[in-house]
Structure 1
Amino acid sequence: MYKSNEIDIRPRKGASQAAFKKDNYWMNQTQVETSPWYEWDTKVFNYHDKPTQVLSGYESFNKDLRDYLQTSTLHGLRYIGERKLTWFERFEIDRIMYKSNEIDIRPRKGASQAAFKKDKPTQVLSGYESFNKDLRDYLQTSTLHGLRYIGERKLTWFERFFWLAAFCCSVICAAFFILNVYHKWRSSPMIVSINPENMHLQDLPFPAITVCNVNQAKKSVAERNSLDKKLLNSLCGTQRDADIFEDDIAESANWDYTRSFLINVTQPCNEMLAMCLWDSRSMNCQDLFNAQLTDEGLCCTFNVVHRDNMFRNPRDLNDLNLTFPSPSVDWTPEGGYPADAPPDGFPWKPKGIGTNHGLTLVLDANIAEYYCASTKSMGFKILLHNPTETPNIAKIGEIYGPGIEARVAIQPRILDAQPSLKDIDVKKRLCLFSSEKELVFYRTYTLRNCEMECEARSMLDRCKCVLYYMPNSEASCDECLPACNEIAFFERLSTAPLNKALIGQYSTILLNRTPDYFT
């Protein structure tokens, strides 16, 4: 199948078969055998057995490799196995890499090699002609689509120009898309992708849960004296003639008084929380929930870190009963739980998956005491949030009406940044590590905590005061960016009305309320 460069040994014309066998060439006399060949009858001799030369393993492999290189269709390999080329020419194969269309001049059969070398013409090309020839050979042998048609002499100039224009357009389009990708990488060198590694439940905390009654004041408490009523109407936005009471309110109402007033007039946690189950175990709601001042008023919060771990200079609020059933640990979204944290340290970790391992609450809206609601409905606002953040429940809290059963599926979203991102400029990565920016009174940097300080700063500049639920008298911040390491919780809510026929079976849990109470 392959053309061999080996010498074919055969008897001379007129020589006998015996003389041929006697004078035949033997490369290795000890390794010679005969094998059946083919019959070749001529007028001169007739033989049936031809001597076979047995090669060593290395020689056989070298011969097969050389035959493969000379017959290979891969461009350039046949020159590597060409014996007529010097070793330097084989390594400089790029000079003869392209197949030429020139006529291959070789000696006629029977002509001597010396006469051929003497009479062989040598074509000397100029620099331009040599470049033109090399360019034409490159175009005809290039694998880039369309280039071989540009160098095809059989095509008209119009056809060749069309292929040249098409190739240039392809290059321009490719360069355009490459530049867009490059500029996108320069402006935002970060890649946000889903982490293929699973995270164990014990590596993240159970979300903090804040529950607020949309009724910001109990009617029986708000109507005790005129000053409280005037202040409450002003805070609720229902005061029609504010100028009449402005002097009285200014004399008696300051931030401390306002905070104390909100604590006293709002529904307390022991009245709001009728029953609490954690991991299917009945627990005292007063041990699980703490009162917290938010933008919705006084609310009840579960699984939030201690104030010492949340604020830099926390103020002791003696009028708030703060209790923690377990020691609070310094958990942060970036650092996680400390290595020496106890297994039951606050914030608590989820015990498992499903409603049996979560938190179950029975809430009492106390509709008869509604006086000043933040919405036009009745019920509660509930928010799942980071345990190190002050909840923004007034804006993004979910409303739950009375007389329903609600189930909330928690979906955590964890943003985890590699430490190598610190080498990228903040303006390009658009996020901050905790060590890169310290807030005034929050210990942990998050986007929500930074926005809280910005709101306080804006109010301080305009009104010379800050929000009543802020832990300091002043605040300042620059530009707020998301934290590079954050954790957020999203809920998937499903609700259904309570079955009035079964309310009697749970009278103890529902505080002996009648079915009409839940309509």
Structure 2
Amino acid sequence: MQHEGLNQKTNYWTTENSQDPAPWYVWDHKRTISRSKSEVGSWSTYLRFFERPHHTHQDVISGCDSRGVRKDLREYLLTSTLHGLRYVGEKKLTWFERFFWLGAFSCSIVCAGFFILNVYDKWRSSPMIVSINPENMALQNLPFPAITVCNVNQAKKSVAERYKKDGNPVNKKLLESLCTSQDDTEIFVSDVAQSADWDYFRSFLINVTQPCSEMLAMCIWDSGEMSCQDLFNAQLTDEGLCCTFNVVHRNKLFRNPKDLNDMNFTFPLPSVDWTPEGGYPADAPYNGFPWRPRGIGTDHGLTLVLDANVAEYYCASTKSPSFKILLHNPTETPNIANLGDIYGPGIEARIAIQPRIMDAAPSLQGIDVKKRVCLFSSEKALVFYRTYTLKNCEMECEARNMLTLCKCVLYYMPKNKTTRVCGKADANCYSNISFIRRGRQMSCEECLPACTEISYYERMSSARLSKAMVEQYAKRLSGNKTAEYVTNNMLIIHFFFEDLTFTRYTKGEIFGLTEFLSNTGGLLGLCMGFSMMSLVELIYYVTLRALCQTRRRPKRHFTQ
């Protein structure tokens, strides 16, 4: 017995205090250990779990996770800032009431989505709007328009009669082609047409047309009389040989001016690289070409005295002796035959220049070209012209079509030294140019308006020349002009600005990203009380809270 007690005493750990709890482990499995009711209950639960073989480790974990997810979902519904969700998670409400509020919340989502889709469709289909810019353009930042003047007389009578009397067959046929409505195919035969190439026709055109020195009798700029040769340059247009004022230098107008097969231009003052989109450079001299207006009124504009020389009229492109005048952008080649205005002699006319300024916000570049329907200069490079405008693009497109069909271009179209200019031998092809122009809409779809454009319009007023005015100019003009000659041949015309500032029309986004988000947030807030914090709240419950709850739950290891 003593040995048995000793064995019992040494086979398990005890404390000296008799009130201490029973030992936590017994070597002698026959000895009964007393436990508390809580310990007995927990252990019995643990044993019952293993006594039920249909429960596995995955069942316990999934059960705990599903209960945790339902708890988190209910807590989110009760505390969410979205309108109506707390009624869905409220236990005190019946299932019918919960479904009612769930249906109401779903309907609000559908309504918000419908209106947001409408806003998005409007944003994508018509994202651009043209508005009046509150900041007007100052007069000194705007160039004086380029002015092209043509005498509608196609040939001087004295030269034409000399050609008809003593000219060779080529000159006679060229003169006939200028003064008749017949197609060149009906005038030129093969042997004569081969001799009438471009070089020959250009010399003929210069000789038979009234030169600028005869047409421009007097030029007054900013109340100071100047040499017309310093202000105007001869230019070949679709109306023939004309005179142009205030165009940009050919080095700034064309990409490769040395390769062009055209007439020479002279500029008495330094040239400026002005463009409608970039304006005048910061270091541009104030007197550089293209010239800027010096003020408002006729005293600070351009005054011209034009001589029609009616006695030399042989054939004209209009029904009466007159001039064709066109105001255009300094970076464009004029299309004066169809767009020029007609002014007859014997009158004094005042042309109030009214610019139309269209610019674009830089943010517009983010919108698709097909939707904004305009091009920035950096988005499309022309072959000949340095500055992109709609008319320059159309001129190049017409020349490209002509070159494709006829292997040549007309004399007034952009060309280089290697491009063949159409002669009369190509009349069978280029006589169909009207068809090419009608088809330009089909073949020149890439020519869109420039996003930044400046065009000029005129408001004209005129009156017959008074006797005193006629006598005054008869004395001032060279060549001993009589009062009768001034009345029958002279046109006095003034070009000027009326205002110091001009309204600008700006193309901009009707809906930017900020406006779209504002409209979307307003609709979501109206329908369901949604805000940015509601989104943060949802993300928190889905990600951060679920992760924290998972890490907070105790890890349990079970055996299969």
TM-score by length of 2: 0.60
Q: Is the 8 A contact 1:331 1:338 kept in 2?
A: yes
| Residue 316 of structure 1: how far off its partner (Å) | 7.6
1:276-309, Cα deviation, whole Å (9 max, x unpaired): 1101111111111110111111111010011111
Counterpart residue number, 1:518: 487
Of all paired residues, the percent bearing the same amino acid is 71
The one of 200, 203, 228 equivalent to 1:260 is 203
Q: Deviations over 1:232-290 (max 9, x none)?
A: 21244355996574234313211122222212211111100111110111111111111
8 A Cα contact 1:209 1:302, kept in partner: yes
Given candidates 424, 429, 436, the residue that maps to 2:372 is: 429
- 1:128 aligned to 2:66? no
Native 8 Å contact 1:260 1:319 kept in 2: no
Unaligned runs of 5+ in 2: 1-77, 421-442, 489-560
Question: How large is the Cα RMSD of the aligned pairs?
Answer: 3.5
CA distance in 1, matches of 2:411, 2:84: 83
Which is richer in helix?
Answer: 2
Can you list the C-alpha shifts for 1:419-465, whole angstroms capped at 9, x where unaligned? Answer: 22222221121111112111111111111111101111222222221
Cα gap change, 1:450 to 1:97, in 2 (>3 Å): same
TM-aligned CA distance change 1:320 to 1:403, over 3 Å? same
Give the Å deviation of 1:334. 1.4
Runs of 4+ in 1 over 6 A off after TM superposition: 89-98, 133-136, 178-181, 316-319, 475-478
> Residue 487 of structure 1: which of 445, 449, 454 is its match?
454
Residues 354-369 of structure 1 aligned to structure 2 (within 5 Å): 354-369=297-312
Q: How far, CA to CA, are the matches of 2:80 and 2:365 in structure 1?
A: 48
**Contact persistence 2:235–2:243 (CA under 8 A):** yes
- Inter-CA distance 219–185: structure 2 relative to 1 (3 Å threshold): farther
Q: 1:95 to 1:320 in 2, by over 3 A?
A: closer
Q: Give the secondary structure class of the aligned counterpart of 1:487.
A: strand
**How far is the alpha carbon of 1:313 from its aligned partner?**
2.1
Paired letter, 1:205: P
SS at match of 2:378: helix
5+ residue gaps, structure 1: 1-88, 99-122, 139-143, 145-170
Distance 1:418 1:318, change over 3 A: closer
Report if the CA contact (8 A) 1:278-1:360 is conserved.
yes
Note if 1:188 corresponds to 2:126: yes
Pick the aligned partner of 2:239 from 296, 305, 317: 296
**Are the equivalent residues in 2 in contact too, given 1:222–1:228 (CA < 8 A)?**
no
Q: Deviations over 1:73-117 (max 9, x none)?
A: xxxxxxxxxxxxxxxx9998978999xxxxxxxxxxxxxxxxxxx
1:194 aligned counterpart, secondary structure: strand
Rounded Cα–Cα distance in structure 2 between residues aligned with 1:401 and 1:95 = 80
* Conserved? CA contact 2:177–2:187, under 8 Å: no
CA distance in 2 between counterparts of 1:509 and 1:321 reads 30
Count of residues paired in the alignment: 374
TM-score between both structures, scaled by the size of structure 1: 0.65
Whether the aligned pair in 1 keeps the contact of 2:252 and 2:386 (CA below 8 Å) is yes
Task: Map Cα deviations across residues 165-200 of structure 1 (whole Å, 9 max, x no partner).
Answer: xxxxxx99x979x87765443223112111110212
User: Which of 132, 137, 142 is the equivalent residue of 1:204?
Assistant: 142
Contact 2:470 2:486 in 1 (8 A): no
Residues 255-404 of structure 1: matches in 2 within 5 Å? Answer: 255-315=198-258, 320=263, 322-404=265-347
Instruction: Determine the structure 2 residue equivalent to 1:22.
Output: none
Is the alpha carbon distance of 1:238 and 1:482 closer, same or farther for their aligned partners in structure 2, counting shifts above 3 Å? closer
Matched to 2:174, the amino acid is: L
Change (3 A) 1:495 1:465: same
